[in-house]
Amino acid sequence: MGRRNLDHVDDAGAADLARVEKALESRFPTRMVPDLDRIVDLLDLLGSPQRAYPSIHITGTNGKTTTARMIDALLRGFGVRTGRYTSPHLESVVERIALDGRPIDAERFAAAYDDIAPYVDLVDARHPDRMTFFELLTAMAFATFADAPVDVGVIEVGLGGRWDATNVIDAPVAVVMPIGLDHVGLLGDTVEAIAAEKAGIVHAGALLVTGPQPEGAGRVLANHAAGVGATLLQAGRDFGVRGRSVAIGGQLLDLEGLGGRYDEVFLPLHGAHQAGNAVCALAAVEAFFGVRDGGRGPLDPDVVRAAFAAVTSPGRLEVVRRAPTVMLDGAHNPAGAAALAAALDEAFTFDRLVAVVALLDDKDAVGLLAELGPVVSKVVVTTNSSPRALPAQALATVARSVLGDDRVEVAERLDDAIERAIAIAEEPDDGGGIAGGGVLITGSIVTVGDARQLLVAGSRP
């Protein structure tokens, strides 16, 4: 949690936030215990705040946070007060808990922690394992939303689904974004095993909205839905992207929702994967509003257009500098890198694209670099601020095996890596002219958060 930007926080708020961060960090942010015993116990003591409002619950391998932000924007467009809970954060832990589309402030975050802390001590005392970092944040979010109060919670799963601390909400609408191989040591080494874990958020009678899935994952989700009496709504069958074209600053979409067509929808995000995220978000909101029930027609298309036009997703192919263009993207697995590469190829035309890459040590570096290889000219490998960061020299060894020695440079520090990448991007071309170069910083949400601290003045997603 050290990548925090406190330009927007007064001294008292900064001190309060630092105190709470220290208390949360004492529970080791990466520690996980695969059961719901502690979170259920704590929420019972708090009066079950997660049941004070209905929720839309989102899982999947890639696209969860962006889809959550899109769902949030759509709901707010229709006058619904929202509470959004996402993870991980880019710069400050307060980003994870948002009311009406904006992160809560440091004072409210600290107050949320202080309100539940005495009950946390009780729970710790009567369980063999202390509550985890993520369990505390989840309880803080649910309590904040109940206190606001919100009309709807938009809740992103932290990891998996079945044993995730968020899986206490029994949401009427569950969303499963595309599933791929990630966190294989925790969730399983096949898409079928991972899908079984993620399907755990789908409860009896729910509406299940799924993005496009590998065949095995799709089969597991369909079987689970049938087993619990959930209604399955599939991308490509019940809703989908009818058309899309590149536009300045994003793309123009024709979407087929559950209730009808929504044409000429501008989305200020790049790539086919973002179009897929958008139509899943649309279907989830339609399902929540009961568009399919009783023959109700589509949502107001003007409201839908306005909501999508206002969507932001920091750190997802985000342009933060010009001349040369510098972009940030949190792709951290091969599927994410493939989607990123396709979006770059479609939306940008660089003579030379230099990637700055830093990964965590449990990620598929070979697969990620192989996907980026066709669209980047050179890679500068480095490290990020995470204690789990893959050392730069180790990543360089992998990168050279994938891309060749002449396409790989090493810089131990991220700031040096960015400076070197910009210098390469600005080198004259063979004719002595200025090349149309760009810089891409990617490999991890941590890497993107670190880069935002360096490149975006006063940033706060």
Q: Residues near 47 by Cβ (< 8 Å), separated by ≥ 6?
A: none
Per residue in 21-72, pLDDT tens? 999 999 988 888 889 999 999 999 999 999 999 999 999 988 999 999 999 9
Distances (CA, A) of 159 to 10, 26, 80, 184, 284: 33, 20, 27, 11, 20
Cα 270 from Cα 346, distance rounded (Å): 8
- Hey, do 11-309 and 318-455 end up sharing a CATH topology, with the first three levels equal? no
Supply the pLDDT for residue 449: 94
Q: Which residues in the chain show pLDDT less than 70?
A: 1-12, 181-186, 188, 293-296, 430-435, 457-461
CA distance 460 to 87: 15
Q: What is the DSSP letter of 360?
A: B
Which two tokens mark 444?
């991890």
* The predicted structure's pLDDT at residue 250: 95
Q: Is 401 helix (H, G, I), strand (E, B) or coil?
A: helix
Domain boundaries, the chain: 11-309, 318-455
Q: How many Cβ atoms from other residues are within 10 Å of residue 10's Cβ? A: 12
**Tokens, residue 3:** 């990548």
Could you tell me the CA-to-CA distances from 73 to 172, 210, 263, 310, 312 in Å, in that order? Answer: 19, 19, 18, 7, 9
- Identify the residue whose tokens are 């951290």: 332
Structure tokens at 323: 């001349």
3-state secondary structure 423-452: HHHCCECCCCCECCEEEEEECCHHHHHHHH
| 183: Cα separation from own chain's centroid | 15
What CATH code is assigned to 318-455?
3.90.190.20
Looking at residue 10, its pLDDT comes to 63
pLDDT of residue 189: 74
3-class SS at 338? helix
Q: What's 11-309's CATH class?
A: alpha beta
Contact present, 133 and 37 (Cβ < 8 Å)? no
pLDDT of residue 50: 98
Instruction: Please report the pLDDT score of residue 2 as a whole number.
Output: 44
Q: Which residues pair with 378 in a beta bridge?
A: 354
